[in-house]
């Protein structure tokens, strides 16, 4: 569309107002002459200013020509002209800003100050400037925060996509990694680095020579860093350790240098010097980490030095308050496998009288065909008993079974039931995993001998109580029997080849799933992480190498 017509001052022809020169006589129009004068005036003014300020003004003037309705550009030009002490131009552009935003009281106050310089206007303008700067700062912080959040979310998504569903925690060239356990926060896994089992190491151990000691180590899964928490002196039986709830501390059993008795130590995962808590070979922590139940060790076969607490009875169960250091006896029986209820008000354990223990020992030893204690007592018979419940509040202890063939009692995560292993035959692998009420009633078989396994050993519940992981034992289908062979220690007879694997029992629909199979001899020690989505376990291969692994549960 053409603009309004005007008369050329040179030739008198009618031309468009937007024309810069007459199309008939080529004379410059009045508006073009005015713009050139304005440009000359601006250049002469800018020539007197510092170059940096002049460049800023020139750039904003071009932006104003392109977008005359940009309020921010008008305000900036007014501020720059004010700094250049060009009041007329500063007022001109601020008036344009007010015209574009007539409801803005701060622009009007700023204009009033610029025109008459009153005190009130000065203060108002200063306040407005501060508000503008604060708003810009907040906007910048918000944008940065949004960027950081987006980056973190992206990293989490990438981590979940890249992180494998199964990975190794630790393996060593000449040593084994065993018994992995997640920390209470799930960010770390503790495990034991032990000397590799061999015939030579077994002979050395019998002679009292230990090539290497077992080391308690911790792997930080986020930092992929491994630290040493403590060194365990060799003793008899299985090495035991636990994370202490609500902390980054660990506890473990090692032979004391003071009295050569098994002792529970508390240590930071970072490897500070351990603190001896009690002479004991088995222990459990309350859920708040403030109480410890332990099985006292009071008789040393290798030292005449007294135990830490001389009045304690060997094999009895005690309860220690870590805040006061006081210990009280719970049961004088030969006890094992203590565990706290989720509410920390009760302790379940297995126990038997010394008379019953000696009777069982005599029976088995008399029937043994070899003059060795190892043949006379097996782990299945040496550590079974009846189940007892101790009420911490009332101090009352009740026996809830009387068959004498139970072990490993634990509360279910909701505290409403107990899970226990029971051996139907003391001389076989046949056993059943039962659920029962804390008073011994309502006993029902949860797992028993089936087509895939003939017995069970270690088991654990997921934190929500909906899944149980257990080690199922079965005959090796590839090689069911090993023939006898001659060794430096004499002839070893043939035997059935047992292997084990980890199974997951869904306690909601009672279905069983076996972890994906690999070439291994044993897969054992299943432990859930705090979310119940990952499980740590130990693998022993056919060449007797042992490694610690973690796998995601589908």
Model's pTM, two decimal places? Answer: 0.65
Please tell me whether residue 355 adopts helix, strand or coil conformation.
helix
Cα dihedral sign for 462, 288, 190, 280? negative
pLDDT in tens, 305-352: 778 888 898 889 999 999 999 999 999 998 999 999 999 999 999 998
What angle is formed at CA 535 by the lines to CA 534 and CA 539, rounded to 5 degrees? 140
pLDDT in tens, 26-50: 777 777 777 777 777 777 777 878 8
Q: Which residues contact residue 397 at a Cβ distance below 8 angstroms, ignoring those fewer than 6 apart?
A: 330, 331, 388, 389, 390, 391
The whole domain housing 107 covers 25-137
Distance CA 389, CA 440 (A): 10
Distance CA 147, CA 153 (A): 10
Q: Which residues sit opposite 439 in a β-bridge? A: none
Span between the terminal Cα atoms of the chain, in Å: 71
Distance CA 314, CA 332 (A): 8
Say what the pLDDT of residue 25 is. Answer: 79
With respect to residue 535, please indicate whether it lies within any of the assigned structural domains: no
Distance CA 509, CA 262 (A): 43
Residue 383: φ, ψ to 5°? -125, 35
With respect to residue 414, please indicate whether it lies within any of the assigned structural domains: no
With respect to residue 217, please indicate whether it lies within any of the assigned structural domains: no
Say what the pLDDT of residue 307 is. Answer: 82
Q: Could you tell me the CATH number of the domain that includes residue 30?
A: 1.25.40.10
Burial 29-61 (b: 16+ CB within 10 A, else e): beeeeeeeeeeeeeeeebeebeeeebebbeebb
Distance CA 403, CA 384 (A): 10
Say what the pLDDT of residue 495 is. Answer: 59
Residue 145, both tokens: 């925060």
Say what the pLDDT of residue 201 is. Answer: 53
Distance CA 14, CA 491 (A): 127
With respect to residue 545, please indicate whether it lies within any of the assigned structural domains: no
Say what the pLDDT of residue 444 is. Answer: 92
Say what the pLDDT of residue 491 is. Answer: 43
H helix intervals, 291-398: 354-367, 373-376, 379-382
Q: Which residue has the tokens 């949860």?
A: 446
With beta carbons less than 8 A apart as the criterion, state whether 232 and 217 touch: no
User: What residue ranges of the chain have pLDDT lower than 50?
Assistant: 1, 119-122, 366-382, 484, 487-494
With respect to residue 29, please indicate whether it lies within any of the assigned structural domains: yes
Structural domains in the chain (count): 1
With respect to residue 301, please indicate whether it lies within any of the assigned structural domains: no
Say what the pLDDT of residue 1 is. Answer: 44
With respect to residue 544, please indicate whether it lies within any of the assigned structural domains: no
With respect to residue 506, please indicate whether it lies within any of the assigned structural domains: no
Q: Is 287 left (phi over 0), alpha (psi -120 to 50) or beta?
A: alpha
């Amino acid at each position: 569309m053409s603009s309004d017509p005007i008369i050329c001052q040179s030739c008198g022809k009618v031309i468009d107002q937007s024309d810069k020169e007459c199309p008939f006589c080529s004379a410059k129009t009045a508006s073009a002459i005015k713009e050139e004068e304005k440009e000359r005036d601006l250049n002469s003014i800018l020539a007197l200013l510092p170059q940096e300020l002049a460049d800023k003004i020139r750039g904003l003037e071009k932006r104003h020509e392109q977008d005359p309705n940009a309020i921010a550009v008008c305000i900036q030009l007014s501020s720059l002209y004010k700094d250049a002490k060009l009041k007329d131009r500063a007022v001109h552009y601020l008036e344009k800003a007010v015209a574009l935003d007539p409801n803005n009281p701060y622009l009007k106050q700023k204009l009033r100050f610029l025109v008459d310089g009153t005190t009130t206007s000065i203060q108002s303008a200063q306040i407005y400037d501060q508000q503008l700067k604060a708003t810009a700062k907040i906007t910048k912080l918000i944008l940065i925060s949004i960027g950081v959040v987006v980056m973190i979310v992206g990293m989490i998504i990438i981590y979940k996509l890249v992180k494998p569903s199964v990975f190794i925690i630790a393996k060593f060239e000449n040593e084994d990694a065993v018994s992995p356990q997640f920390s209470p926060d799930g960010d770390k896994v503790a495990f034991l680095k032990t000397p590799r089992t061999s015939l030579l190491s077994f002979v050395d151990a019998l002679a009292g020579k230990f090539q290497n000691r077992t080391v308690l180590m911790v792997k930080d899964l986020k930092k992929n860093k491994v630290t040493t928490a403590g060194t365990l002196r060799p003793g008899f039986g299985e090495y035991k350790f636990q994370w202490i709830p609500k902390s980054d501390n660990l506890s473990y059993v090692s032979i004391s240098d003071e009295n050569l008795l098994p002792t529970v130590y508390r240590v930071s995962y970072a490897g500070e010097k351990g603190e001896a808590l009690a002479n004991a070979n088995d222990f459990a922590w309350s859920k708040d980490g403030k109480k410890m139940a332990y099985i006292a060790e009071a008789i040393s076969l290798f030292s005449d030095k007294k135990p830490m607490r001389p009045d304690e009875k060997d094999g009895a169960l005690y309860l220690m308050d870590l805040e006061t250091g006081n210990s009280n006896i719970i049961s004088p029986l030969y006890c094992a496998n203590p565990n706290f209820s989720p509410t920390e008000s009760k302790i379940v354990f297995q126990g038997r009288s010394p008379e019953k223990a000696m009777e069982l020992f005599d029976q088995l030893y008399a029937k043994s065909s070899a003059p060795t204690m190892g043949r006379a007592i097996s782990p299945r018979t040496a550590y079974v008993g009846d189940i007892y419940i101790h009420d911490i509040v009332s101090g009352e202890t009740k026996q809830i079974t009387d068959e004498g063939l139970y072990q490993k009692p634990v509360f279910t995560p909701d505290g409403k039931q107990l899970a226990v292993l029971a051996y139907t035959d003391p001389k076989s692998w046949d056993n059943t995993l039962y659920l029962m009420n804390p008073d011994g009633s309502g006993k029902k078989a949860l797992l028993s001998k089936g087509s895939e396994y003939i017995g069970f050993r270690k088991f654990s519940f997921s934190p929500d109580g909906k899944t149980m992981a257990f080690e199922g034992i079965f005959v090796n289908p590839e090689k069911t029997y090993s023939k006898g062979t001659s060794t430096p220690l004499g002839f070893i007879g043939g035997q059935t080849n047992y292997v084990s694997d980890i199974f997951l029992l869904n306690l909601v629909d009672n279905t069983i799933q076996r972890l994906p199979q690999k070439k291994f001899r044993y897969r054992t020690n299943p432990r859930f992480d705090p979310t119940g989505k990952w499980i740590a376990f130990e693998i022993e291969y056919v060449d007797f190498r042992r490694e610690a692994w973690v796998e995601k549960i589908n």
